[in-house]
Amino acid sequence: MQYLEGRRYVVLAIFLLVGVLFAGRLFYLQVLDDSYKVAADRNTLQRQVQIPYRGQIYDRHDSLLVTNTPVFDLVVVPREVKRLDSLRFCQLTQMPIEDLRLGLRAAKIYSRNRPSPLIQNLSTRELATIDDMLGDFPGFRIQARMARTYKTENLAHALGYVGSITPKLLESSKFAHYQPGDNVGISGLESYYESTLMGQRGVQYRLVNVRGVDKGPFHGGQYDTLSVAGQDLHLSIDASLQAYGEKLLAGRRGSIVALDPKTGEILCFVSAPHYEPQVLTGQGSGNRYMDLLRNPDRPLFDRPLMATYPPGSVFKLVNELVALQLGVVTPGTGFPCNQSLIHCTHRHEYPSNVNIAIKQSCNPYFYQVMRAAVLRGQSRNGFEDARLGLGQWQKMVKSFGLGEKLGVDMSQEKRGLIPSPDYYDKRLGYHRWNYKTVYSLSIGQGEIGITGLQMANVLATIANHGYYYAPHFVRGIGAVGQPLAQFRERHYTAIDTSLFKYVIPGMQAVVDGRGGTGEFASLAQYGISVAGKTGTVQNAHGPDHSTFAAFAPANNPKIAVAVFIENSGFGGTAAAPCAGLIMEHYLRGHVAPSRKRWENWIMYGDLTRRGHH
Amino acid sequence: MTPSRSSRSIDWPLVLLYLLLVGLGWVAVYAASYSPEAPANPLASLGFSQLMAFNWFKQLLWMGTAAVLIVVLLVVDYKAYDTLAYILYFAMLGLLLVTLVIARPIAGSRSWLEFGPVRLQPAEFAKFTTALAASRFMASINLRQQNWRDQAVLAGLTLVPVALILASNETGQALVFAALLLAYFREGMSPLILLLLAAGGVILLLALLVPKLWLVGGFTVVLAVAFLLNAKLWRHHLILSLSTWAAVIGMVFGVNFFFNHVLQPHQRQRIEMLIDPGKDPLGKGWNVTQSKIALGSGGWLGKGFLNGTQTKFDFVPEQSTDFIFCTVGEEWGWAGSTLVIGLYMALLWRILLVAERQKSVFGRTYGYCVASVLFVHFTVNLGMTMGLMPVVGIPLPFFSYGGSSLWSFTILLFALLALDAHRKQDLLR
Ligand SMILES: [Zn+2]
């Protein structure tokens, strides 16, 4: 029997071996391998995001433009659906039975325990009929959510719109904390001020059991955060001026931008043709968006920011200021209207000083002004002289905020183009161009491109005698009531502030002088002097574009405005009266009945018919 | 015999280990069935019928009745275990047979007898009666003498209840009877049987995991090398070695047949899930996956009492019964689980000690039976919880919720303690 005694140790060894094996296996599972902890959290932790109330948008007179109203969706929780009478349900909801079948299937795939939308944006009538009957359909209920609602029919281009976040945006780090299905500002101010408007999401971590049923807060809610409502935006836009501007250009393509020169606030921002902001929200918005996208007049195109045109004669003002700064001309300098240099717009008196030259918009005069500014004998080589001169000219022009983004509080702004010597070197070759190649810049034609917003800003700069505030839409954010810091900073041009006074009388003569090119913009009957400049932009693809830029009153400027109307000929006939009406509306609060004929003219007249100068 | 003498001769360390395991088990059952919505002091605020909805409360009742059972077991004349062994054994066979006929199928198994709200599983108690009968028979033979008749009787004694339990579809409970082989081994059974069984298990598992030709080729190579190394010895056992080789080949190829045609679908699934639980984590692999997540999320020290999320929120199925160890692992961490494993090791070691000091073969064999049955339960249950073994529904002794299992393990253990308390008298007999 002795050797059987030893077997007790064999048995004991087997026992202990298994014990040690299990302890080791547990050590691996519990201590070494972290993946199970992650899996456990994924099992039980549900992150519930509370969407804060999105900030509202007001105009400069505190009238509400954009707000949120509850909309109602019919949602379904698949697990709670019992004995569904689909036929009756479809009769009640007017829903095709096939849609119900597909909707239920999609809901089941998404989650058996969480609500999925079946019909979105129920109308009040639908809501009333459905709500009464829902007691008979377990698992179906009405869920409210907040949707963007517009109290204005205007300003769609600036306001932008809100929509579900796209998969592409979700990938960017800026939207790291967004979830699929979240709303986000897609364009315009809604997008630029997204973080301000959105506020802070609240997050609650809830424990859920295996069936997804809520089992209370995680760790007593110590990781939860409350949602904070978004901040309101107070725009500098004057809603009634905006509506008026959109009405004027309703049948045209073009833009109107009006600024308050003293602050850089945008008063009016018209992109024609326009559309109503609510078009891009709610049911069917996708189809309506596609319709706008296919429209040949491109209503979605944000013209004041994105369309760059050669500024035409308005740019002569900038060239004159550059030449004055360089000291190559004086206000009293006269140049002959020498049509062999460049053709002039019309026959006129001898431009013996800058006032007459501006009033008559004499092309040969400004040809010679810019030639004096560019060719200053800085090099014996004529090509190099033009190169050096144009380089200095470009730097000074750019100091007006041209050829660069002004930094308006909206994305999508185009920089425009002020050509540099490098630009011509690249296109034509080094020392292969001289002033004779680029002279059309002197009258604002050629390679140059600026936006409507930049044009208005140039006028504001002149009105301010040499500085501007970056144009902006938002003059007050939430309770702070201030615009962003970058909009409170003055930008000075490279032109001495004392020189601006030399171009203003000429601009006043354009509007108020006898036979001035911008006479249709005159507000002299109200005792308001307007300083402005017409422009006609040659267009290779059709009739010329009409442009006019002005500020008023000339002695104490309160508004600077730039109007572009595409394919409507001379600036004086189309754009000038339009700018006049805008300034009148803003400065006087209304347009006198006697001036209504101008409205009809701009809205319905054949703008290309009237005389070309 | 005075009570004081009797109590002095009771093995108190074993009783203490028993009490610790049952107590910790109850704490785990409480945590597993704990619901945050329940009243803070349910014993005061709820009525009896409401309390009966809680597993922890019912477990308290089971524990109370187990205490009564213990007193009965210790008071009964210790000689009765020996004398009544065969009677109890055959009574149990009858009961198993009756159960098989009259039981209503519950979850595919016809093994539960129902008396109103109380359900009992006779198979749980068959371990006890079979152990008694086998021990009694062991005392009357000498296993080492290789008496074929004795061995056949012993095998039959063991296998008849196994067959009846298998018939009721309780594979797990039937599997536990393999534990008795450890006791027989201690009493002189050839170790070859244990080795063959172990090897068979390993080959079966390998056949499922490794391509068949690799396995056959590998085994043939091993055999050939062994033959070449000691050709002279092998020639003596040529027939034996060739038949072993043939058996292995047959087994390897038989596995497929066995797997696809003999095993029932749910058994096949359990084995499939053991091999790859990730294949279908939300379906068939759910038990194994969730069990491992619950255990694995415990870390060093666990999430703390009642703070387990996986078990409390029902991610782990059968969390109070077969998967009770998940709660231990999740809430008490590695430290707590290892402590529990240590307690089981101490218990088994102490039972072996008690068994070895029995003066009778009956007592010793019975002691080994107790240790082995507990060990197999422990191994299969924890192995399943950790994803090392197929999901076989057998309880963790003393821990799992349930009256049948608590009673049956209490009877097993305290019958041994009763025998042990009287071992000196046995000597005097
Ligand atoms: Zn001229």
pLDDT of residue A44: 63
Q: Given the structure tokens 């913009």, which residue do they identify? A: A521
pLDDT-derived band of residue A303, with 50, 70 and 90 as boundaries? very high
Is A248 in the same domain as A168?
no
Contact (CB<8Å) B386/A33? no
Contact (CB<8Å) B386/A26? yes
User: Above pLDDT 90, what percent of chain A?
Assistant: 53
pLDDT of residue A432: 92
Which three-class secondary structure state does DSSP give residue A533?
Answer: strand
pLDDT of residue A213: 64
pLDDT of residue B276: 56
Pick from A31, A41, A210: CB nearest B300: A31
pLDDT of residue B152: 87
Q: How many CB atoms lie within 10 A of CB A160?
A: 25
Last residue of a domain, one of A208, A235, A262: A235
B97 touches A: beta carbon within 8 Å:
no
- Work out the mean pLDDT of chain A and round it to a whole number: 87
Is A244 in the same domain as A229?
no
Domain layout of chain B by residue ranges: 3-189+281-428, 190-262
Query: What is the rounded average pLDDT of the residues A167-179?
Result: 78
Is A142 in the same domain as A258?
no
Is A349 in the same domain as A449?
yes
Please tell me the distance between residue A505's alpha carbon and the centre of ligand 1 in angstroms.
18
Q: How far is B292 from chain A, CA to nearest CA, in Å? A: 7
pLDDT tens by residue, A224-277? 778 888 999 999 999 999 999 999 998 889 999 999 999 999 999 999 899 999
Is A404 in the same domain as A538?
yes
Which has more confidence, A292 or A218?
Answer: A292
A398: domain range? 239-276+301-604
| Residue A68 domain flag | yes
CATH assignment of the domain containing A260: 3.40.710.10
pLDDT tens by residue, B25-68? 999 888 887 766 666 677 777 777 777 778 888 889 999 999 99
> Is residue A496 a contact partner of residue A465, using CB atoms and an 8 Å limit?
no
Question: DSSP assignment of B113-125, as one string?
Answer: EEETTEEE-HHHH
B201 touches A: beta carbon within 8 Å:
no
A181, A395, A403, A423, B74 from A388: Cα distances, Å: 56, 11, 19, 13, 116
pLDDT-derived band of residue A613, with 50, 70 and 90 as boundaries? very low
Q: Given the structure tokens 């190394």, which residue do they identify? A: B229
pLDDT tens by residue, A11-55? 899 899 999 989 998 888 888 877 777 766 666 666 667 788 899
Q: Is the ipTM of this complex over 0.90?
A: no
| Residue A417 domain flag | yes
Is A311 in the same domain as A202?
no
Contact (CB<8Å) B352/A11? yes
Is A203 in the same domain as A247?
no
B329 touches A: beta carbon within 8 Å:
yes
pLDDT of residue A376: 92
E strands in B21-177: 113-115, 118-120
- Our CA angle for B362, B366, B371, nearest 5°, is 155
pTM above 0.80, yes or no: no
| Residue A423 domain flag | yes
pLDDT of residue A517: 86
Is A256 in the same domain as A229?
no
- Rg of chain B over all Cα atoms, to the nearest angstrom: 23
**Does the CA dihedral A98-A99-A102-A104 come out positive or negative?**
negative
A98, two tokens: 């096939």
A16 touches B: beta carbon within 8 Å:
yes
pLDDT tens by residue, A322-352? 999 999 999 999 999 999 999 988 888 999 9
pLDDT of residue A612: 39
CATH assignment of the domain containing A200: 3.90.1310.10
A-contacting residues in B 363-392 (Cβ below 8 Å): 368, 371-372, 375, 378-379, 382-383, 386, 388
pLDDT of residue A2: 53
Residues (pLDDT < 70) of chain B are: 1-8, 35-40, 107-108, 143-146, 204-205, 207-212, 230-238, 240-241, 251-252, 254-286, 309-317, 425-429
| Residue A568 domain flag | yes
Burial level of A498, CB count in 10 A (0-12/13-18/19+)?
Answer: exposed
pLDDT of residue B327: 86
β-partners of residue A468 are A491
Is A509 in the same domain as A530?
yes
Which chain A residues have a beta carbon less than 8 Å from that of B386? 22, 25-26, 29
A131, A137, A282, A301 from A128: Cα distances, Å: 5, 15, 19, 40
Please tell me the distance between residue A370's alpha carbon and the centre of ligand 1 in angstroms.
15
**Does the CA dihedral B166-B169-B171-B173 come out positive or negative?**
negative
Count, in order, helices (H) and strands (E) of chain B: 21, 2
Which chain A residues have a beta carbon less than 8 Å from that of B379? 18
B355, two tokens: 């068994």
Q: How many domains does chain A have?
A: 2
Chain B interface, mutation test: which of A1, A29, A32, most B Cβ atoms within 10 Å?
A29
Which chain B residues have a beta carbon less than 8 Å from that of A10? 185
**Cα B125 from Cα B119, distance rounded (Å):** 13
Please tell me the distance between residue A324's alpha carbon and the centre of ligand 1 in angstroms.
20
Is A215 in the same domain as A244?
no
Indicate whether A586 pLDDT > 60. Answer: yes
Please choose, from the candidates A226, A175, A182, the residue with its C-alpha nearest in 3D space to the C-alpha of residue A204: A226
Please tell me the distance between residue A576's alpha carbon and the centre of ligand 1 in angstroms.
21
Last residue of a domain, one of A183, A205, A235: A235
